[in-house]
Structure 1
């Protein structure tokens, strides 16, 4: 019996590398693994449905469910998780010393629907008393002019959201003080030692540890989606892919803890891993639904509250049921 040939567009991660290298094979599937930058993968999948399987922004996926007959179905596999306190930058002369000082300021964000932005805005509202509508937002390219939203966003006037002028970049506007702050998953080029741009949180790692101790949330950024036509024709692929991706993550975790020779160029990799396990738990990068109910529920509340979904979804609505069964068999 021939195996199903699927193209999987995803970043180059330790937790998926076994699938890219073919050392772990999903049952019944031959994967053509494309290592692509996340922005390219998201844009091509959202606009053109180019791949049968792809990594996708959690926010973009949830937004796609609003369209009726969603073109994708997700697996409870989280290729990216990251605390985002490091992603808030301010101009040194904007008078922003504390998170609360963001109220009334002009803040850039590359796209309103970015998952990182959803988490940052929600975290600032919940933890620091900065309501989403207390800030004016400007969208556009961070380093290159002309970036637009991957899908249309209509906030109905719930927040002041406007694009920047043609030819401008958010990084440049932050550098010269024409915006007061930037919320972004990427470090802006204007953030340089001794320059006019600094992080909002002087010790973001300490702030992120405190956030986790208070909320128990390790934010989810990306999921893996299967194009719906592929899923409907071969529903078994959801479980097959989920099982293989879970095995790949487990293998990567074992290899990460090999102290004989560091796998990555980070001097304190092993102590850092041990600290993460101590603070966040042994399976801190957990896949599945049950282990992540609180995190997903919080994100869905933020997503709806920020005008990105017409109704507030429940976590159980996000994933293929066959994929969820992969964790109980």
Structure 2
């Protein structure tokens, strides 16, 4: 995805939602998205703490040091530049920062963020933070040779917000989940908000879309068929399609909680409330240059729902 953002080699690609929104800051945005969301993830389960930092509940993160892969990417002459394979504003962290501020009273200006590689094996991240962050927000790049996982283990930071699980959680008892019962927390969050966080979108090069607008609707129909095939694989009973011994029970439980057999929903109207919430977070965190409207993200001819 980072290569596509930098070189625009492909006509159609998958992009992180946050990186895509950042491209809209440009005078001539290079992409236009479709309301197709191949990656979604509840992110309460991806917040980790050092229990020796006196964190008993989420609100205890106020005043603490939180590691994140990146806060905001470098900009060069107004154009987003993604030098690292996982660079760019991390969508997971945007959701996590927003949820902590809105749901648990931990605003971004009452913590200190440390950015850098999660593990020693990762390529060093060299992100420069432009002066567009909201007042009071503190972001510090960790030093060369440091990594957030070891820093959490040693107590040099108090928490990590990440899409991946830091290895220290597996090797030491004082590094663990902020929400040990994250399934219950995420289930309650969904029932109350109906938000299943979106991580990625499908995007078309804007020049390709403008020359061939029919491509957007055709792709939308193709992905709708693909979801049908995916559901069929989940419900296969003759043999397990995936390495989960109680897959059928997991599917049943998910359908019961999320309101039916088609719980992974694409489409603009079905997901407008999710996009609106993300755009609120992106703007208040100093990423989007203005509070974009949800419909501005997507090809106009894909905003209406259809039945395959």
Query: Corresponding residue for 2:209?
Result: 231
Say whether 1:138 aligns with 2:114: yes
Separation in 1, partners of 2:109, 2:130: 19
Query: Corresponding residue for 2:31?
Result: 72
Separation in 1, partners of 2:293, 2:113: 28
Say whether 1:121 aligns with 2:97: yes
Q: CA offset at residue 114 of structure 1?
A: 0.8
Q: CA offset at residue 327 of structure 1?
A: 2.5
Separation in 2, partners of 1:241, 1:179: 44
Q: CA offset at residue 152 of structure 1?
A: 5.9
Contact 2:269 2:305 in 1 (8 A): no
Query: Corresponding residue for 1:84?
Result: 43
Separation in 2, partners of 1:84, 1:325: 29
TM-score by length of 1: 0.83
Alignment of 1:177-326 (within 5 A): 177-192=155-170, 194-282=172-260, 283-325=262-304
CA pair 246-328 structure 1, distance change in 2 beyond 3 A: closer
Contact 1:171 1:188 in 2 (8 A): yes
Partner deviation per Cα, 1:144-190 (whole Å, 9 max, x = no partner)? 25124599673154410111111211112111111110000001111
CA pair 326-212 structure 1, distance change in 2 beyond 3 A: closer
Contact 1:47 1:150 in 2 (8 A): no
Contact 2:49 2:177 in 1 (8 A): yes
CA pair 210-325 structure 1, distance change in 2 beyond 3 A: closer
Q: CA offset at residue 198 of structure 1?
A: 0.6
Q: Secondary structure at the match of 1:198?
A: strand
Query: Corresponding residue for 2:4?
Result: 45
By relative contact order (CA 8 Å, sep 6+), the higher-ranking structure is 2
The 10-residue stretch of structure 1 (308-317 or 155-164) with the greater mean CA deviation from structure 2 = 155-164
The 10-residue stretch of structure 1 (200-209 or 150-159) with the greater mean CA deviation from structure 2 = 150-159
Contact 1:145 1:166 in 2 (8 A): no
Separation in 1, partners of 2:56, 2:116: 25
Partner deviation per Cα, 1:107-148 (whole Å, 9 max, x = no partner)? 000012211111111111111111121110011111125124
Separation in 2, partners of 1:151, 1:180: 22
Structure 2 gap segments, 5+ residues each: 72-88
Q: How many residues align?
A: 288
Contact 1:145 1:167 in 2 (8 A): no
CA pair 180-278 structure 1, distance change in 2 beyond 3 A: same
Q: CA offset at residue 194 of structure 1?
A: 4.2
Q: Secondary structure at the match of 2:34?
A: strand
Structure 1 gap segments, 5+ residues each: 1-41
Q: Secondary structure at the match of 1:226?
A: strand
CA pair 295-136 structure 1, distance change in 2 beyond 3 A: same
CA pair 150-116 structure 1, distance change in 2 beyond 3 A: farther
